[in-house]
Structure 1
Amino acid sequence: MATLIVAFPKLEEAKAVRNLLVRRGYEVASACTSGAQAINMADRLSDGIIICGYKLSDNMLYSELYEYKPKSFEMLLVASKNLWDDCQDNDIVCAAMPIKVNDLINTIEMMLQVQVRRRKKKRMQPKRRSPQEQKVIDDAKAILMEKNNMTEPEAFRYIQKCSMDSGNTMVESASMVIGIYSE
């Protein structure tokens, strides 16, 4: 589960929101009053959501906090609607003040689900091979095509099958093919 950081100009507000979220089962890393504290905490964490007010105690606006936060963090602005200047231009989720507890929880839950989907999608993307790794695979295919009279797709499938059967990566299997035929 992603971590939450709460940042409001008054410590009492930040602690109240933090306590509310903790009671609802969320992990809150910190209740901050300044943008610098929030950014510092976010830099130490992998990902999460920063829940903040319009202007923090160090006079940092939400837009500056959005600009300086790590890319892996989402942001939820809790402020009156007339202060939502460029929220739609950025990917800042906004909640109107005064906020109801259920609205806050539902918004956070929606944001967390988006993060989970994004993480899952990123994991599912095939990893890019370096030029050196691709050269190893291409060399192994060339050897198989020459020595075993295979077509390029057949050689690729052979390396792929060996990789899947052995539990190795394609590059490791290709290296084994090169090693076998170069002896």
Structure 2
Amino acid sequence: MGEEKIVIADSGEYTRKIIKGLLIKKGYKVFEATDGLGAIRMCRTIYPELAIIDTNLWGMDAFQVGNIIEDDNLSTVIYITNNATSFFLNKIKEMKIYAYITKPIIKDSLYKTVEFSLMNIDRIDTLQNKVNILEDKLRGRKIIDKAKGILIEKYNITEEEAYKIIRKESMDKCKKIEKISKIIIDEENKNIKK
């Protein structure tokens, strides 16, 4: 645990102050919001690691606030609730982390939920980065395959021969194979339009 930033959005000052005090004792940087728009603005300003939002938030539906915060990649959201109804549990299934805090606030439970959430945020972010890398590789692979297809058809050669042409061009021009493949595709598209 370092100096992670946490936004607490709760219209009730009492609960907000209790949570803030407990989290500050653990070394977190804590910021407060009293309504939905304030929570969104705060998250847009400081990009906290975690946003803790009360389900009875003023101004906007708390789930709408949470969805905006997560969809815009401003933070990860967990909720505070008086009652974990089936409706509530179904709503939080849509969130990045399936975790919540119940009222009255119990110190040990709060700490465990926050620490659990922060630990899982790191894991989720690591996995998302791996997925992004794989998606980039797949996009690059598709571009190369399309360029090979163009060369195969144009010169009546094998796939291996088409790849060798692209690779040689890549080495000769000191450009990535994907970039050379994109040039081949762009030139073919220009020829088709003529």
TM-score (ref. length: structure 2):
0.62
- Report what 1:129 is aligned to: 139
- Return the offset for 1:4: 1.9
- Report what 2:147 is aligned to: 139
- Return the offset for 1:88: 1.7
- Return the offset for 1:31: 0.8
The DSSP-based 3-state class of the residue aligned with 1:17 is helix
Structure 1 vs Structure 2: percent identity of aligned residues?
Answer: 18
Q: Which has the higher helix share?
A: 2
- Return the offset for 1:12: 4.8
The DSSP-based 3-state class of the residue aligned with 1:98 is coil
Give structure 1 stretches of 5+ with no counterpart.
178-183
Alpha carbons 2:33, 2:42 under 8 Å: kept: no
Alpha carbons 2:80, 2:101 under 8 Å: kept: yes
1:112 corresponds to 2:118: yes
1:152 corresponds to 2:159: yes
Give CA-to-partner distance per residue, 1:44-92, whole Å, 9 cap, x none. Answer: 3556322122323x354433433443323332222222x6452221225
1:99 corresponds to 2:105: yes
Give CA-to-partner distance per residue, 1:7-46, whole Å, 9 cap, x none. Answer: 1113353244223213313243x21111110011223355
Alpha carbons 1:53, 1:78 under 8 Å: kept: yes
Q: What is the CA–CA distance in structure 2 between the aligned matches of 1:118 and 1:31, rounded to whole Å?
A: 25
Structure 1 residues 158, 90: closer, same or farther in 2, change over 3 A? farther
CA RMSD of the aligned region, Å? Answer: 4.1
